[in-house]
């Protein structure tokens, strides 16, 4: 039945499935943290094992091996920086934040990443936000104020909030780094992921071993790490990139944003986290703001394509086909 669907429909369903898998990661991480696995060691083990699972994808293809051998020193430095920021700092901070805060709260904090990327684009890439993006930002801020007011956080919860802010900041800078790497179009995505994930994962694991108490892995803890590494990271990454061959960047971005909806639902179902009417209203406003900002990021390129097409139509009797390539940010849950 699945094969009878059109390639585009299959790609959409595949991307939705991967997004759902990434959302379940938050529940599994919470289970592992409740099982007393130290957060940094937990994150480092997960991404190190996931990178090892992806290594065969690189080694079995001669073209990937050739690209790997041809990497210049500057490219190695960029990939190492990407791994340290996106995995070492961002994912480590996310696990720490989840150790102290409910998954729904962390989800709301990290959803601000889209706003951070837009803001960094203003200062680093000289991008000018559209008016609708400012409206989306205002929606998000109103939602966040409703959710967190009145605030009465304990000491541990403040640690989680600070870790969440570190995570979203690192995600923002990581997205800019990822664009810089992907815009060169000289390094295949699988090599970008394997190298950066390997460097970031190993660094995170070393820091966890040095700073945290020795982990005691129960059977449930081991199964959680293996599932996160093999299924929710290595397998999901492979499926996601297969879907990107068919989906546009805007479609992939919107589907990936569905995690903002999936995570609260799963946290409510499996973690027993409560969603009050006030928090539901706040999440709806914040999620709506993020969708507005995300969609607006791709409206400008689409408008440029439409304008270009109109100019061409005035010059040519026959309609022409525009082949555009879309970049995809390096994505981890």
The parts of the chain modelled with pLDDT lower than 50 are 301-330
Model confidence, pTM:
0.83
- pLDDT, residue 127, reads 65
Domain borders along the chain are 2-315
DSSP collapsed to 3 states, the chain: CHHHCCHHHHHHHHHHHHHHHHHHHHHHHHHHHHCCCCHHHHHHHHHHHHHHHHHHHHHCCHHHHHHHHHCCHHHHHHHHHHHHHHHHHHHHHHHHHHHHCCHHHHHHHHCCHHHHHHHHHHHHCCCCCCHHHHHHHHHHHHHHHHHHCCCCCCHHHHHHHHHHHHHHHHHHHHHHHHHHHHHCCCCCHHHHHHHHHHHHHHHHHHHHHHHCCCCCCCHHHHHHHHHHHHHHHHHHHHHHHHHCCCCCHHHHHHHHCCHHHHHHHHHHHHCCCCCCHHHHHHHHHHHHHHHHHHHHHHHHHHHHHHHHHHHHHHHCCCCCCCCCCCCCCCCCC
- pLDDT, residue 175, reads 81
């Amino acid at each position: 039945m699945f094969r009878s669907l059109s390639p585009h429909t299959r790609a959409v369903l595949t991307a939705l499935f991967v997004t759902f898998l990434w959302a379940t990661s938050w529940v599994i991480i919470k289970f592992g943290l409740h099982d007393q696995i130290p957060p940094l060691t937990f994150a480092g083990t997960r991404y190190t094992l996931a990178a090892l699972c992806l290594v065969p994808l690189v080694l079995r293809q001669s073209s990937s091996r050739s690209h790997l051998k041809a990497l210049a020193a500057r490219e190695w430095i960029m990939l190492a920086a990407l791994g340290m920021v996106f995995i070492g700092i961002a994912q480590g901070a996310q696990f720490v934040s989840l150790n102290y805060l409910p998954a729904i709260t962390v989800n709301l904090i990290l959803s601000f990443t889209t706003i951070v990327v837009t803001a960094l684009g203003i200062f680093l890439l000289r991008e000018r936000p559209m008016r609708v993006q400012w409206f989306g930002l205002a929606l998000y801020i109103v939602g966040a104020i409703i959710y967190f007011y009145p605030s009465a956080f304990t000491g541990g919860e403040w640690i989680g909030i600070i870790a969440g802010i570190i995570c979203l900041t690192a995600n923002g800078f990581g997205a800019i780094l990822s664009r810089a790497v992907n815009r060169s179009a000289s390094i295949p995505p699988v090599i970008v992921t394997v190298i950066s994930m390997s460097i970031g994962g190993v660094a995170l694991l070393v820091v966890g071993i040095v700073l945290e108490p020795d982990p005691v892995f129960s059977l449930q803890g081991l199964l959680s790490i293996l599932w996160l590494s093999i299924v929710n990271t290595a397998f999901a990454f492979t499926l996601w990139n297969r879907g990107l061959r068919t989906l546009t960047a805007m479609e992939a971005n919107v589907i990936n944003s569905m995690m903002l909806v999936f995570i609260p639902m799963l946290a409510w179902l499996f973690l027993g986290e409560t969603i009050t009417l006030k928090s539901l209203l706040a999440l709806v406003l914040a999620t709506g703001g993020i969708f507005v900002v995300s969609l607006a990021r791709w409206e400008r390129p689409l408008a440029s394509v439409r304008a270009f097409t109109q100019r061409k139509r005035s010059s040519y009797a026959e309609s022409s086909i525009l082949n555009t390539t879309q970049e995809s940010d390096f994505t981890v849950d």
